[in-house]
Amino acid sequence: MSFPGDGPDDSDGDDGAGRRSSSDSSVPGTESSDDEVAATRPDRWHSEKSGGPPPTRAGERDEATSEWQLFAYDLVSSVVAVMVIGAYLFAVSGVWPPLVAVESESMVPNMEVNDLVFVMDEERFPGENAHAETGVVTAQGDTDYRKFGQQGDVIVFAPDGNSDRTPIIHRAMFWVEEGENWYDRADPDYVGGADACEADRDPSSDTGLRNCPAPHDGFITKGDNNGLYDQAGRGGAQTGPVKPAWVVGTAEVRIPGLGWVRLATQ
């Protein structure tokens, strides 16, 4: 007697020995479908199927994002710190920029090339015996007042009031009034061989002291390492007597060697 399912044509594929056959001829465990490969080896499946690089793992993306965030944080923090320091220096000095770099040897040995100099508004904390309302003490004005190794204030000023020219940082020697013949007040070593005020010189010679008589009120200035007043000069003066309006401020403190940072940003 036979029962449904006992015959060789059983749809379940029983071979009569208790073993069932399948239309899939593959041995279990030797081959896997694409879905199985994708589930177990997503990187390999992506590479083999698409020919492209494997996708970036979430951990790698998070690490890269963290590195960029850290870089951005450091950058913003540095900028903010510089701004805070700059604002503080401006509040103290009343001058912007409050730091200038020494570019020449005209103030050696009291200032060297690449020194960074802190400048303050000359009227903020004027020294005793400052001239009139300028806040600047001249070398001839007070023999007890010294800055950077010598008598008198060191000032930063725009030559001839031209802000497009490089500012000069030199010492204020003395004050002259408009129309003054200041030859007799000048140190003969710093007048460039002049033997009289330019207005009084012999017309056949060029030995008159330039800017004499003074074309306007102002300071006579000189670099500590220079052999001439800025207003004298051979072949042309660097500037006329320095008007108070041309003065940027007085030099207060120098930081050796840090001026290259300021020069690099100009």
Checking if the pLDDT of 123 tops 70, the result is: yes
Quickly state the pLDDT bin for 17 (edges 50, 70, 90).
very low
Phi then psi dihedrals of residue 62, to 5 deg: -65, -40
Checking if the pLDDT of 20 tops 70, the result is: no
Quickly state the pLDDT bin for 50 (edges 50, 70, 90).
low
For residue 10, the model assigns a pLDDT of 46
Give the residue among 254, 247, 224, 223 at the shortest CA–CA distance from 135: 247
pLDDT, greater one: 2 or 218: 218
Phi then psi dihedrals of residue 25, to 5 deg: -80, -5
pLDDT, greater one: 22 or 52: 52
Spatial distance between the Cα atoms of 145 and 172, rounded to a whole number of angstroms: 12
For residue 129, the model assigns a pLDDT of 87
Rounded to an integer, the average pLDDT of 19-30 is 45
For residue 255, the model assigns a pLDDT of 92
Spatial distance between the Cα atoms of 145 and 163, rounded to a whole number of angstroms: 29
Quickly state the pLDDT bin for 18 (edges 50, 70, 90).
very low
Beta bridge partners of 229: none
Phi then psi dihedrals of residue 43, to 5 deg: -65, -45
Q: Kindly list the domain boundaries of the chain, sorted by start residue.
A: 31-93, 96-264
The Cβ-side half-sphere exposure at 261, using a 13 Å CA radius, reads 8
For residue 163, the model assigns a pLDDT of 92
Two structure tokens written together for 139: 């070398």
When the pLDDT of each residue in the chain is averaged and rounded to a whole number, the result is: 78
User: CA torsion sign, 118 to 122 to 124 to 125?
Assistant: positive
Give the three-class secondary structure for 205. Answer: coil
Give the three-class secondary structure for 147. Answer: strand
For residue 113, the model assigns a pLDDT of 94
| Residue ranges of E strands in the chain | 99-101, 116-120, 146-147, 150-151, 154-157, 168-176, 196-197, 208-209, 218-222, 247-255
Checking if the pLDDT of 130 tops 70, the result is: yes
Single pTM value for the model: 0.67
Give the residue among 259, 266, 252, 262 at the shortest CA–CA distance from 155: 252
Quickly state the pLDDT bin for 144 (edges 50, 70, 90).
confident
Exposure string for 18-28, b = 16+ CB within 10 A, e = fewer: eeeeeeeeeee
Checking if the pLDDT of 41 tops 60, the result is: no
Give the three-class secondary structure for 264. Answer: helix
Give the residue among 220, 153, 227, 133 at the shortest CA–CA distance from 182: 220
Backbone dihedral region of 144: left (phi > 0), alpha (psi from -120 to 50 degrees) or beta? Answer: alpha
Which CATH topology does 96-264 take? Umud Fragment, subunit A (2.10.109)
CB atoms within 10 A of CB 29: 6
